[in-house]
């Protein structure tokens, strides 16, 4: 595995302090303060525990503190490695089934109850939490913001791509991790805001108080008047044989390892899901110098933005529609994944099976809102608002704008004299719009001057190209009347290439005719350039089809947008359809000569914490006529360390497999506390040590 030493967008040469630790007695080094899981991955270790039920190996899944897959023993105590910072001298060991209870024969040394008062508690420092807190801070309200990561920004921190949306309203054209820094800097400028990083909100209570596990070591009670829940979302698991093997984990976890911690987390991956999360994950994988065997999607069409899918295909990644995962298999970790096409009822067609030799399977099958605190707060009749993915799964550009509105809604609840502009509400609806109509590529007649060619053919909320053009020569077609409209050239192009560099979808090129046979085309490139001026590169069209090899005549780095502009000389006949440069060799996407069928559907794990299979749950439902989710706890479903956060999203499918209409099933009781908290922390016994 190792570290990423070179990246086309991220700065890899950071000042870090190396520390020593041991894993199962072997001496290793890592970076002080990085998460233990990242240090272990960098050392090539992906197996963190052996399950108590059958000794099955366990690895990470969410890398977000939401599940328990990555638990290890740290200095004698069981800890989630993805949220535990590495420190010098740590003794880290594989969790072998159940951990031994540490000795508890010391008398109570001290106890201190710590309470902080505020007007609004904001749970989560992602894009919506940050913008909500900023709006409230502007009004002079006392804000406490708690986030469980070591830096603010949520998923923004993991995003190396340029954002869609409106430049005016949500920093469109700026990369996600840069937006996170902008918002954090603004929030920290307000003296009436208190920020608790590396802090989980453990629970909320009927007396309008919340418990905070601060820096994973001490307990703080926050008394609040209003609550904003902007806790984001968690990865969805899916059920198939081998779904709990080390090497099967969420796309967000991969982005955490690769983009936040610069760990080369795999050699070759396969991705499940063609939504924006899966498509962007493929982009991030390639940027990190890792190969992608392909993307599989059970639906018959791509669910993410067309421009995302187009650029991934151009880079050499195939997308298999109407295709599902049959199984993942390997000796203690993923070594191969078998997929197959499905019929109209989504049943796999085994005769179409193909097997890929990969070491990682990324699950990008959707997200589940982390909104439990909102439901509890409503039940307690608190003043509460939810924002971002906790409210509705959408793009981060939508979450930022929605957070601003959520902040003002909370201010009104608290009696502040504020007015929410109607135009804000309309913009919010546009930003979370689903993709609209797809148009054909406009015919282009080349001249001796550069002109832009737009392969942004789908209606999506995006307008940076219109705002960056120094001549204001790019407009949006007035079909819808919003930033959903597609762009066109309405004036004179001066060939500066700024629109090419700024486009989030890498969906603009510039082309001009040199003579009757030759043309020059300027293309965006956001990968490590393995070529130089004079080399030949493979060009593809919008769909990823190879069209010809062209000579590189100029390389220009746009520092503002961190995009390389590559000018090539090619034939006139193909210049108008050239859309990208092939990044990945076709051989990296070939399946094995013969499929390997490890297909026993009932062996798929539903409850990852307790290792309860689909077959076991379906059998129990049928035998006991289960109509209440709480009954499943008898076979340990939902009783594990994650508090049923992971398995609960599978319940509709599981009951359907047992022949039960899920709408007739009573809801299960959820655990009141969201994060495991040591008793010593609850009484602040170790404070000051």
Give the DSSP per-residue string, 472-503: --EEE-TTSSSTTSPEEE-S------HHHHH-
What is the model's pLDDT at position 672? 67
Q: In whole angstroms, give the CA distance from residue 293 to residue 288.
A: 15
Q: Mean pLDDT across the stretch 645-663? A: 92
Q: Mean pLDDT across the stretch 26-54? A: 96
Query: DSSP string spanning 25-88?
Result: TEEEEEETTSBHHHHHHHTT----EE-TTT--EE--S-SSSSSSTTEEEETTEEEEGGGSB--T
Residue of 393, 330, 328, 396 lying closest to 362 (CA atoms): 328
Is residue 237 within 8 A of residue 140, CB to CB? The reply is no
Beta bridge partners of 18: 31
**Domain co-membership, 298 together with 329:** yes
Q: Mean pLDDT across the stretch 23-31? A: 97
**Domain co-membership, 344 together with 286:** yes
**Could you tell me the two tokens for 595?**
């499929």
pLDDT band at 167 (very low <50, low <70, confident <90, very high): confident
Burial of residue 433 (CB within 10 Å: 0-12, 13-18, 19+) is middle
Q: In whole angstroms, give the CA distance from residue 443 to residue 290.
A: 36
Among 6-15, 547-556, 594-603, top mean pLDDT goes to 547-556
Residue that finishes a domain, picked among 329, 363, 397: 363
Q: In whole angstroms, give the CA distance from residue 373 to residue 123.
A: 9
Indicate the pairing of strand 49-50 with strand 57-58.
antiparallel
Q: In whole angstroms, give the CA distance from residue 95 to residue 40.
A: 14
Residues near 570 by beta carbon (within 8 Å), at least 6 away in sequence: 518, 519, 520, 521, 539, 548, 550, 551, 578
Residue that finishes a domain, picked among 309, 331, 363: 363
List pLDDT tens digits, range 448-481: 999 999 999 999 999 999 999 999 999 999 999 9
Tell me if 225 is assigned to some domain.
yes
Indicate the pairing of strand 120-123 with strand 143-146.
parallel
Tell me if 56 is assigned to some domain.
yes
Is residue 134 within 8 A of residue 412, CB to CB? The reply is no
Is residue 404 within 8 A of residue 186, CB to CB? The reply is no
Q: What is the mean pLDDT of the chain?
A: 93
**Could you tell me the two tokens for 365?**
């099958």
Q: In whole angstroms, give the CA distance from residue 586 to residue 580.
A: 15
Percentage of the chain beyond pLDDT 90 is 84
**Domain co-membership, 419 together with 455:** no
**Domain co-membership, 515 together with 571:** yes
How many CA atoms lie within 13 Å of 388's alpha carbon, on the beta-carbon side?
31
Q: In whole angstroms, give the CA distance from residue 278 to residue 320.
A: 13
Q: In whole angstroms, give the CA distance from residue 120 to residue 410.
A: 8
> What's the first-to-final CA gap in the chain, in angstroms?
36
**Domain co-membership, 248 together with 318:** yes
pLDDT band at 373 (very low <50, low <70, confident <90, very high): very high
**Domain co-membership, 584 together with 455:** yes
List pLDDT tens digits, range 583-625: 999 999 999 999 998 777 889 999 999 999 999 999 999 999 9
Beta bridge partners of 92: 23, 74
pLDDT band at 674 (very low <50, low <70, confident <90, very high): low
Is residue 438 within 8 A of residue 455, CB to CB? The reply is no
**Domain co-membership, 460 together with 535:** yes
Q: In whole angstroms, give the CA distance from residue 291 to residue 440.
A: 31
Tell me if 2 is assigned to some domain.
no
**Domain co-membership, 257 together with 332:** yes
Residue 611's domain spans which residues?
601-664
In this predicted structure, the answer to whether residue 518 has a pLDDT above a threshold of 60 is: yes
Tell me if 520 is assigned to some domain.
yes
Tell me if 672 is assigned to some domain.
no
In this predicted structure, the answer to whether residue 687 has a pLDDT above a threshold of 60 is: no
Beta bridge partners of 341: 323
**Could you tell me the two tokens for 412?**
């009104």
In this predicted structure, the answer to whether residue 217 has a pLDDT above a threshold of 90 is: no
Of 254-268, 305-319, 662-676, the least confident: 662-676
**Could you tell me the two tokens for 79?**
């800890």
Tell me if 277 is assigned to some domain.
yes
Q: Phi and psi at residue 525, in whole multiples of 5°?
A: -145, 125
Query: Is residue 279 classed as helix, strand or coil in its secondary structure?
Result: helix
What is the model's pLDDT at position 689? 47
Beta bridge partners of 384: 227
What is the model's pLDDT at position 675? 75
Query: Residue 407 sits in a domain of what CATH number?
Result: 3.50.50.60
Q: What is the DSSP letter of 3?
A: B
Q: In whole angstroms, give the CA distance from residue 606 to residue 629.
A: 13
**Domain co-membership, 359 together with 250:** yes
**Domain co-membership, 498 together with 538:** yes
Q: In whole angstroms, give the CA distance from residue 66 to residue 88.
A: 26
In this predicted structure, the answer to whether residue 339 has a pLDDT above a threshold of 60 is: yes
Q: What is the pTM of this model?
A: 0.93
Q: How many domains does the chain have?
A: 4
Residue that finishes a domain, picked among 339, 363, 387: 363
Q: In whole angstroms, give the CA distance from residue 615 to residue 613.
A: 5
Burial of residue 18 (CB within 10 Å: 0-12, 13-18, 19+) is exposed
**Could you tell me the two tokens for 474?**
């790019």
Q: In whole angstroms, give the CA distance from residue 145 to residue 200.
A: 11
Q: In whole angstroms, give the CA distance from residue 439 to residue 652.
A: 37
**Could you tell me the two tokens for 587?**
């051989």
**Domain co-membership, 202 together with 218:** yes
Q: In whole angstroms, give the CA distance from residue 500 to residue 439.
A: 20
Indicate the pairing of strand 26-31 with strand 18-23.
antiparallel
Tell me if 108 is assigned to some domain.
no
Of 417-421, 454-458, 595-599, 659-663, the least confident: 595-599
Tell me if 678 is assigned to some domain.
no
Q: With the C-alpha atoms ordered 331, 333, 339, 342, is the resulting torsion angle positive or negative?
A: positive
CA 196: distance to chain centroid? 22
Q: In whole angstroms, give the CA distance from residue 213 to residue 233.
A: 20
List pLDDT tens digits, range 48-85: 999 999 999 999 999 988 888 999 999 998 999 998 99
Q: Mean pLDDT across the stretch 247-269? A: 96
Q: Mean pLDDT across the stretch 485-500? A: 96
**Domain co-membership, 585 together with 466:** yes
């Amino acid at each position: 595995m190792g570290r990423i030493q070179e990246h086309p967008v991220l700065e890899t040469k950071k000042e870090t302090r190396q520390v020593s630790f041991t894993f199962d007695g072997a001496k290793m080094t890592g970076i002080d303060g990085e998460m233990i899981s990242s240090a272990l991955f960098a050392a090539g270790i992906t197996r963190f525990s052996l399950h108590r039920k059958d000794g099955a190996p366990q690895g990470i899944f969410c890398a977000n503190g939401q599940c328990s897959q990555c638990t290890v023993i740290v200095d004698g105590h069981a800890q989630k490695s993805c949220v535990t910072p590495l420190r010098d001298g740590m003794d880290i060991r594989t969790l072998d089934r159940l951990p031994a209870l540490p000795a508890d024969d010391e008398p109570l040394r001290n106890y201190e109850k710590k309470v902080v008062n505020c007007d609004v508690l904001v749970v989560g420092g992602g894009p919506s939490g940050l913008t909500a807190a900023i709006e409230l801070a502007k009004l002079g309200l006392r804000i406490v913001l708690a986030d469980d990561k070591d830096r603010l920004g949520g998923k923004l921190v993991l995003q190396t791509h340029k954002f869609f949306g409106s430049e005016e309203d949500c920093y469109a054209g700026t990369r996600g991790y840069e937006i996170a820094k902008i918002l954090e800097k603004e929030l920290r400028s307000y003296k009436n805001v208190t920020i608790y990083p590396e802090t989980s909100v453990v629970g909320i209570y009927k007396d309008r108080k919340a418990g905070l596990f601060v820096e994973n070591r001490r307990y703080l009670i926050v008394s609040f008047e209003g609550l904003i829940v902007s806790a984001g979302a968690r990865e969805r698991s899916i059920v198939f044989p081998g779904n709990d093997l080390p090497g099967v984990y969420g796309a967000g976890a991969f982005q955490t390892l690769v983009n936040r911690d610069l760990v080369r987390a795999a050699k070759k991956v396969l991705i499940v899901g063609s939504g924006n999360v899966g498509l962007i994950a493929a982009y991030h994988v390639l940027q990190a110098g890792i190969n992608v065997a392909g993307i599989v999607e059970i639906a018959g069409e791509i669910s993410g933005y067309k421009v995302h899918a187009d650029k991934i295909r151009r880079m050499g990644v195939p997308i298999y529609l109407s295709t599902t995962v049959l199984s993942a298999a390997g000796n203690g970790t993923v070594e191969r994944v078998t997929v197959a096409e499905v019929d109209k009822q989504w049943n796999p067609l085994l005769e179409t099976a193909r097997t890929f030799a990969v070491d990682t399977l990324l699950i990008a099958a959707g997200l589940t809102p982390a909104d439990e605190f909102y439901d509890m707060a409503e039940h307690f009749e608190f003043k509460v608002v939810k924002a971002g993915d906790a409210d509705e799964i959408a793009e981060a550009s939508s979450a930022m704008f929605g957070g601003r509105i959520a902040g003002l809604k909370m201010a009104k609840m608290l009696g502040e004299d504020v007015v929410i502009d109607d135009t804000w509400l309309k913009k919010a609806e546009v930003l979370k719009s689903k993709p609209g109509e797809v148009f054909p590529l406009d015919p282009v007649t080349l001249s001796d001057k550069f002109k832009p060619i737009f392969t942004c053919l789908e209606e999506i909320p995006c307008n940076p190209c219109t705002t960056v053009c120094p001549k204001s020569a790019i407009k949006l077609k007035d079909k819808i009347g919003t930033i959903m409209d597609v762009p066109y050239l309405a004036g004179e192009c001066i060939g500066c290439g700024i629109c090419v560099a700024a486009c989030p979808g890498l969906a603009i090129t510039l082309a001009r005719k040199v003579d009757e046979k030759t043309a020059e085309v300027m293309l965006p490139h956001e990968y490590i350039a393995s070529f130089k001026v004079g080399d030949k590169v493979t060009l593809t069209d919008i769909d990823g089809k190879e069209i010809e090899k062209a000579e590189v005549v100029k390389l220009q780095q746009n520092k503002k947008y961190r995009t390389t502009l590559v000018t090539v000389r090619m034939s006139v006949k193909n210049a108008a359809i050239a859309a990208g440069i092939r990044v990945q060799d076709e051989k990296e996407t070939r399946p094995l000569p013969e499929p390997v069928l490890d297909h026993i559907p009932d062996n798929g794990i539903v409850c990852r914490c307790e290792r309860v299979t689909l077959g076991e749950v379906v059998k129990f439902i049928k035998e006991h006529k289960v109509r209440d989710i709480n009954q499943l706890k008898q076979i340990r479903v939902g009783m594990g360390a994650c508090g049923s956060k992971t398995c609960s999203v599978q319940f509709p499918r599981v009951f359907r497999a047992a022949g039960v209409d899920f709408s007739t099933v009573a809801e299960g009781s959820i655990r009141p506390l969201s994060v495991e908290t040591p008793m010593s922390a609850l009484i602040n016994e170790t404070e000051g040590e």
